[in-house]
């Protein structure tokens, strides 16, 4: 051990550094090139569950404060659908604010190719007027839809959304329990991604950008 250390200590330190650089610099460059190529070849990581294969999003028509709206009105665009209720103080406004921020971060042209539809699961309290004012607070382009209990129920079933009125307090009255996912339909009209609650706007924006490319 000491035998090997002694001769090495006698080397001028500059020569040691030179040797090290000759070895390390090409390695560093190779690493950077590899990392760059690797990143470019990586498939996009969606922020939610990706629906494999083609799953045509069923059409529906419900009411907004500006008249009836059908999913097919937005054919050729990306449509995000969220089922919620205006009485909801926490989860629903957070999702709408995140979706709005994601769309906002796109270029104006791209943003025009994305439509968000908010469907109430609480039609007893959410009138079309209330919904319209509520969703446009988050983004002027958002659409809020309501209908009869039966109409809402059948649209929710088509999209695998569960909801029911749960217990609240004396002050709140009933509170809704609901599937709080953000559904993303691609430009071809297929259900593409199911984004769980809690995904931040950057990740949503990255999915939209990928789909718009």
Give me the residues that bind other proteins (CB under 8 A), please. Answer: 86-91, 93-94, 97-98, 101, 130, 133-134, 137, 162-163, 166-169, 171-172, 175, 177-180, 197-198
The answer to whether 80 touches 191, Cβ cutoff 8 Å, is no
Instruction: Identify which of residues 15 and 164 has a Cβ nearer to other proteins in the complex.
Output: 164
Min dist CB 97 to other proteins, Å, is 6
Strand 143-145 to strand 61-64: parallel, antiparallel, or no bridges (unpaired)? unpaired
The answer to whether 182 touches 95, Cβ cutoff 8 Å, is yes
Min dist CB 30 to other proteins, Å, is 41
Min dist CB 90 to other proteins, Å, is 5
Instruction: Identify which of residues 123 and 189 has a Cβ nearer to other proteins in the complex.
Output: 123
Q: For residue 37, give both structure tokens.
A: 């190529």
Instruction: Identify which of residues 31 and 168 has a Cβ nearer to other proteins in the complex.
Output: 168
Strand order in the sheet with 78-84: 49-50, 191-195, 182-185, 78-84, 114-120, 143-145
The residue assigned the tokens 């051990």 is: 1
Rounded to whole angstroms, the Cα distance separating 100 from 204 reads: 10
Instruction: Identify which of residues 127 and 187 has a Cβ nearer to other proteins in the complex.
Output: 127
Min dist CB 75 to other proteins, Å, is 30
């Amino acid at each position: 051990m000491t035998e090997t250390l002694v001769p090495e200590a006698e080397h001028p330190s500059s020569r040691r550094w030179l040797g090290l650089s000759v070895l390390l610099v090409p390695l560093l460059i190779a690493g950077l090139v590899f990392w760059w190529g690797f990143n470019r070849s990586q498939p996009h990581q969606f922020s939610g569950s990706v629906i494999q294969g083609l799953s045509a999003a069923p059409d529906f028509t419900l009411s907004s404060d500006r008249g009836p709206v059908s999913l097919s009105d937005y054919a050729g665009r990306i449509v995000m659908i969220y089922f919620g209720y205006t009485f909801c103080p926490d989860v629903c406004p957070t999702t709408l604010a995140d979706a709005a921020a994601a769309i906002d971060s796109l270029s104006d042209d791209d943003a025009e190719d994305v439509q968000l539809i908010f469907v109430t699961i609480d039609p007893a309290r959410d009138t079309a007027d209330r919904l319209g004012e509520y969703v446009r607070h988050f983004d002027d382009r958002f659409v809020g839809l309501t209908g009869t209990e039966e109409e809402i129920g059948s649209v929710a079933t088509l999209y695998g959304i569960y909801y029911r009125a749960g217990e609240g307090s004396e002050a709140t009255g009933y509170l809704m329990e609901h599937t709080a996912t953000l559904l993303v339909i691609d430009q071809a009209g297929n259900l593409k991604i199911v984004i769980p609650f809690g995904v931040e706007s950057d990740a949503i924006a990255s999915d939209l950008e990928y789909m718009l490319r």
